[in-house]
Each structure stands twice: as C-alpha cells, then as structure tokens.
Amino acid sequence: MSLVYVGFVPHPPIIVPEIGRGEEKVCQATINAMNRLCKEIVSLDVKTVVIVSPHAPVPDDGLAFLAGDVLKGSFSRFGVSEVKFNYPIDKELLDNIKEVIPDSFPIIGELDHGALVPLYFLRKAGWDGKILVFSMPLNKPEKYGRDVGQVLNDHPEKCALIGSGDLSHRLKEDGPYSFHPSGSKFDSIIVKALKKDTSLVRGIPQDLIEDAGQCGYNSLLFALGAREGSVKVLSYEGHFGVGYLVAEIYRSSPIAGFARECLTYHLTAQAFDKLIIPGEPLLKEKRSCFVTLKKDGDLRGCIGTVQPVRENLASEIKHNAIAAGTQDPRFWPLQPDELSLISISVDVLGDMEKISGSEELDPQRYGVVVRHGGKVGLLLPHLEGVDTVDQQLEIARQKAGIWPEEEVELWRFEVERYYE
C-alpha cells in the first residue's frame, strides 16, 4: 500500500518567515505542527506529494490538475520573489489518475500559495521529489478523494496527499472578512469532529459553511475521502481572524504492516524464521493489543488480549493476527486469496483504569471493560455506529453474556490505533 500519509494544512503566507518578518511568531503552534507533519512525510520516504489547493483555478465540475512537465511558482505576489519552487510532476501517477477519473482535465498556471506554503515547509524538512497539484473540487470532493486515494494506494512508489485550506476567515472584525458568529462555530465543529467523529464534518449545514467564509472545507473532505486513519489534530489557531488547522488524517504504520506479514506467512505456510520484525521500539515492549480485519469495510475478524500474555508486543501481534484470521468464531477462516481484499489495523491498549460509573466513559476516546463474576466483555473505542456510552455498554454486556439488570464493574482504557 503506497499511500502512506494524508494530512490537512493551512496556507497563510505570513507563516513563511521571509514574508512574516517576525509576525509569524504569533502562529508558532501552527509552524511547529507544520514542521512536525512535514518531518513525518520525510521519515516515510515519500517520493510523490499530491496537493489539493482551493486557490488553483477551481472549475464548477470535474477534477482539474496543473499541467506541465515541471510546476513552478514563487512568493513574488507577497514581495518575496527570491523564494521560488520548481518540481517535476509524477507523469505515471497522473496518467493513472486520468484513466480512473475520466472527467479530470488540465489547467495552465503556476503554483499558488495553497501549494507553495506546504511546499515551503516540506523543503525545509528536507523533502525533494515529484508533485501533482489538483484544484479543490466544488462538487463531490470526497468521491474524488476516494478515487485518487485508491490510485495512490496502487502506485509503486510511496505517496502522500495534503489537503490545503484555511477554515473560517470571519473569526475577528479586523480579519480578512467581517466578523460572523458562524465562523467560530464552524471551526469548533471541524476541530471537534476530527478529534471525535469525522462523520460530523460531513453533516455541517450548507448555510453555516457559507456564512463561515472558509476556503478549505472541500479540501478537507477530499483528504478524508482519500484515506482515513487515527485522525490527530496537531494544532488550531485563529490569531489573524482566520482558522489555521493542521491535522494528520492518516499515517501508515509498520506495526499494522507487521500484522499482515504474520497472517500472510501463516496462510501461505512460509517459515517464520524468515519473518523480519520491524525496528519499531514499541514492538519490544510488553503490551496487549487487538488485531482487526475488515473486508469491503465490514468486520472480517478481531482477536486480542486485555492484558499482555506474551514476551512483547511483536509476539502479541503475531498471535492475534493469525487468530483474527483463523479463529474468530463469528467468521469462516480467512483464505489466502482474500489477503489482498482485507485491511488490517492494530489497537495497542493502554493501562486499565477502574472507574466508578458510566459518566467517566467516552466511546470515542475510551474503550470499556465490563465484568460480572467470571464474565468479562471488552469493546474498543472509536467504532463506527457506537456513538453513545449506553450503546458501548450494551454491546460490551452482550459480548460477555451479562444481563442488563446485573451489576458490573467498569474499567476504561485508551488505545493507539495503527493502520497499514
């Protein structure tokens, strides 16, 4: 899987020091988050970065891309013509995208600040490679993101996708647009949704979107459509009357990749002495985990342990990955020809914390363990369709065979979820 990173970033030229000339320090949290995101891309050895910009010429329909063998641009509009960029496009990748998306078409133009700002921080982090730049689609952004994401995933070289856009421009009276109360409301919904439940992003009323005076909503939907993992809000600020959000939407992890390798070795009868354990330090720790398999978005197997029972996390993953594919009593054993059709995630559990009541639970943040006598049920956090504490407890009780009227002891725990 070659789409290894998806992010969302703002693009205010003022955070570029040559332009800000000291004023950028007000937005230090945004700058730090941009540096962190770009360093992640460099660490993943990404060869091609795809940027979706709301400031390239935006067509009413279809998916437009900047044409040319080499894309160029500078910050001359902002009085800094010496800061310039020159990147080759990934022709093979673009051809594949055009084949999958027949209503994609070329536009002629230079790199705009929606692309230049993230490219500035990528170059600062040491990245150098090929790029593609798409205009933010006005219609069906999530569908286009999904289609592009699939092509990136099938590309032979590692790719990253960055949705570029600012949130509301109406946070302050002295901002670029006049103040409107919808501005802060819109931004708070976006930030909360990315922290808890991304489905809330898709449900924002159209009038609120328009009143907020934003430019990045469709870029964010595009990024979420491309691939979604453990979403992390890295920073949010609104010092100049504009909402600047930096978020990690998806990051590929060798931990989940190792789970696939273990399951593949077992199903194809390969000798495990040839299995290479990644150098991830976490794999050496004594931690418990759950391995989850999905096929076409539906559960295909899930096995794990509440407490670590093996010498390290690598051993836990190996055992649980194989068990999820072959021993989950809810499903037939996975067959080798299904391996290419499944996705794998690994939840590494934190410490168990005993709690006094359900008011201390949050189904988006905490998993739960219910216990009555010798019956124990566990439910992971942040599961699709589990939106309330009551739903979480009901399912956990059902899994344990505990009746609704029976008293239970409660524990909560946090997880770190890793995707391929």
pLDDT, tens digit (0-9, with 9 covering 90-100), for 273-294: 899 999 999 999 999 999 999 9
Hey, what's the torsion of the CAs at 70, 75, 76, 77, to 10 degrees?
110
Contact 411, 393 (CB under 8 A): no
List, for residues 363-408, the tens digit of each pLDDT value.
988 999 999 988 999 999 988 888 899 999 999 999 899 998 899 9
**C-alpha 336, offset from chain centre:** 28
Rounded Cα gap, residues 332 and 327, in angstroms: 8
Question: What is the pLDDT, as a whole number, of residue 268?
Answer: 96
Contact 214, 221 (CB under 8 A): no
Rounded Cα gap, residues 207 and 224, in angstroms: 21
**C-alpha 419, offset from chain centre:** 9
Question: What is the pLDDT, as a whole number, of residue 364?
Answer: 87
Entry pTM: 0.87
Rg of the Cα atoms in the chain: 23
List, for residues 143-162, the tens digit of each pLDDT value.
999 999 999 999 999 999 99
What is the average pLDDT score of the chain?
A: 95
Which of the 8 DSSP states describes residue 310?
A: S
Q: Using CB atoms within 10 Å of the CB of residue 84, give its burial: 0 to 12 exposed, 13 to 18 middle, 19+ buried.
A: middle
Question: What is the pLDDT, as a whole number, of residue 56?
Answer: 78
List, for residues 305-362, the tens digit of each pLDDT value.
989 999 999 999 999 999 999 999 999 999 999 998 999 999 999 999 999 999 999 9
Which pLDDT band, with edges at 50, 70 and 90, does 296 fall under?
confident
Question: What is the pLDDT, as a whole number, of residue 58?
Answer: 79
Question: What is the pLDDT, as a whole number, of residue 375?
Answer: 92
Percent of the chain with pLDDT over 90: 89
Which pLDDT band, with edges at 50, 70 and 90, does 230 fall under?
confident
List, for residues 52-63, the tens digit of each pLDDT value.
999 877 778 899
**Across the strands, what pairs with 371?**
376, 409
Averaged pLDDT for residues 243-266: 96
Asked whether the predicted pLDDT for residue 1 surpasses 90, the reply is no
Distances in Å between the alpha carbon of 315 and those of 44, 175, 253, 287, 288? 24, 54, 17, 10, 10
Question: What is the pLDDT, as a whole number, of residue 319?
Answer: 97
Question: What is the pLDDT, as a whole number, of residue 388?
Answer: 92
Question: What is the pLDDT, as a whole number, of residue 61?
Answer: 87
Q: What is the 3-state secondary structure (H, E, C) of 342-405?
A: EEEEEEEECCCEEECCHHHCCCCCCEEEEEECCEEEEECCCCCCCCCHHHHHHHHHHHHCCCCC
Longest dimension (CA), the chain: 72
Averaged pLDDT for residues 234-255: 96
Which pLDDT band, with edges at 50, 70 and 90, does 196 fall under?
confident
Asked whether the predicted pLDDT for residue 245 surpasses 80, the reply is yes
Rounded Cα gap, residues 63 and 80, in angstroms: 30
**C-alpha 367, offset from chain centre:** 20
Q: Using CB atoms within 10 Å of the CB of residue 296, give its burial: 0 to 12 exposed, 13 to 18 middle, 19+ buried.
A: exposed
Domain architecture of the chain: domains with CATH: 3-251 (3.40.830.10), 253-347 (3.30.700.20), 350-420 (3.30.1490.150)
Contact 319, 385 (CB under 8 A): no
Hey, what's the torsion of the CAs at 398, 403, 409, 411, to 10 degrees?
10
List, for residues 18-62, the tens digit of each pLDDT value.
999 999 999 999 999 999 999 999 999 999 999 999 987 777 889
Percent of the chain with pLDDT over 70: 100
Asked whether the predicted pLDDT for residue 269 surpasses 80, the reply is yes
Pairing of strands 375-379, 367-372: antiparallel
